[in-house]
């Protein structure tokens, strides 16, 4: 939103765009038109109308939509739109963006890696820079978790899994979304996943390792600085409980293989997609 002109409501925006009110509403829900909700109505900056090219809005068709470029990954186009809807706390709108990405030809794994992941990284960067408040970041994360829950069933694959992977967020780290994103991508890659969530005590990781007869690997997410000691304790405890089981680490606080190894890990992955590739090499 800019300060160059007073905001207009959605009815006026639809009139200026020359489209039906419900079409303009779908533009907002899909992230094609930036808007904020206040006093029970949607409000739009007139300057943002110039960024909208009226055209078909499809959320169910598998055909390419007219606003997706022919080159590049289609789901990347929707990352900024999803970011906008997440920050607004608009769960129906965020889900509509995900549906549009799927309709453009992206599969669920691509949506996670190229739409949801980048949107959440941008929100995290916005919080760190002061562009977004803690309230904005927490509300966006809560909506993202619910959206991911709706997307989750699409990752189910028939047949025997390629092996079991244990995932856990390091003790003291409250960020559950990176673990959940990784779990879905691995399920889509054909692995069985035990997801222990965020802030997992070392003892709980050990109990899960002992209770699972065969593990391809244990993945530990470290999303924030300050958890190096807990990460090292987790890696060491896994080795004691099940010698020879590879330990992988990743997350924003583990930017490279050298850092992962300094924390006691054997493996590192930049994102969930790379982790799936690494796991395939182990099986």
Average pLDDT along the chain, 283 residues, taken 10 residues at a time: 69 82 73 76 84 54 37 75 95 93 90 94 89 94 95 83 92 93 95 96 97 93 91 96 94 91 94 92 83
- The CATH 1.10.1660.10 portion of the chain extends over 1-57
SS3 194: strand
Per-residue pLDDT at 40:
66
Per-residue pLDDT at 69:
39
Per-residue pLDDT at 68:
38
Per-residue pLDDT at 34:
82
Architecture of domain 68-155: Orthogonal Bundle (1.10)
CATH class belonging to 159-282: alpha beta
Per-residue pLDDT at 62:
35
C-alpha–C-alpha distance, residues 228 and 220, integer Å: 12
**Alpha-carbon distances, residue 51 vs 13, 134, 136, 240, 244 (angstroms):** 12, 29, 24, 57, 55
Per-residue pLDDT at 245:
94
Per-residue pLDDT at 41:
75
Per-residue pLDDT at 24:
77
Mean of per-residue pLDDT scores for the chain: 86
Q: Tokens 């160059």: give the residue.
A: 4
C-alpha–C-alpha distance, residues 198 and 172, integer Å: 8
Whole-prediction pTM: 0.73
Per-residue pLDDT at 139:
96
Farthest CA pair distance, the chain = 68
Residue from 172, 150, 132 nearest 253 by CA: 172
Surface-to-core class of residue 75, CB atoms within 10 Å of its CB (0-12 exposed, 13-18 middle, 19+ buried): buried
Is CATH 1.10.1660.10 correct for 1-57?
Answer: yes
- The CATH 3.40.50.280 portion of the chain extends over 159-282
């Amino acid at each position: 939103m800019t300060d160059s002109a007073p905001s207009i409501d959605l009815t006026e925006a639809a009139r200026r765009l020359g489209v039906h009110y419900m079409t303009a509403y779908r533009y907002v829900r899909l992230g094609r038109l930036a808007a904020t909700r206040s006093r029970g109505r949607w409000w739009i900056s007139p300057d943002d109308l110039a960024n909208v090219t009226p055209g078909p809005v499809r959320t169910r068709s598998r055909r390419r939509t007219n606003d997706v470029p022919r080159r590049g990954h289609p789901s990347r186009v929707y990352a900024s739109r999803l970011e906008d809807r997440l920050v607004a706390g608009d769960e129906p709108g965020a889900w509509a963006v995900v549906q549009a990405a799927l309709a453009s030809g992206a599969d669920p794994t691509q949506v996670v890696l190229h739409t949801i992941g980048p949107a959440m990284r941008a929100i995290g960067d916005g919080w760190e820079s002061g562009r977004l408040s803690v309230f904005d970041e927490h509300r966006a994360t809560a909506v993202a978790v619910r959206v991911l829950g709706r997307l989750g069933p699409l990752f189910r694959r028939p047949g025997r899994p390629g092996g079991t992977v244990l995932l856990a967020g390091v003790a003291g780290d409250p960020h559950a979304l990176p673990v959940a994103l990784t779990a879905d991508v691995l399920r889509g890659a054909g692995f069985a996943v035990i997801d222990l969530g965020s802030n997992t005590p070392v003892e709980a990781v050990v109990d899960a390792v002992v209770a699972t007869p065969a593990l391809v690997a244990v993945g530990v997410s470290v999303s924030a600085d300050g958890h190096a000691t807990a990460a090292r304790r987790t890696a060491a405890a896994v080795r004691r409980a099940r010698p020879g089981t590879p330990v992988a680490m990743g997350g924003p606080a583990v930017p490279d293989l050298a850092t992962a190894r300094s924390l006691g890990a054997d493996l590192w992955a930049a994102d969930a997609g790379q982790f799936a590739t690494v796991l395939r090499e182990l099986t």
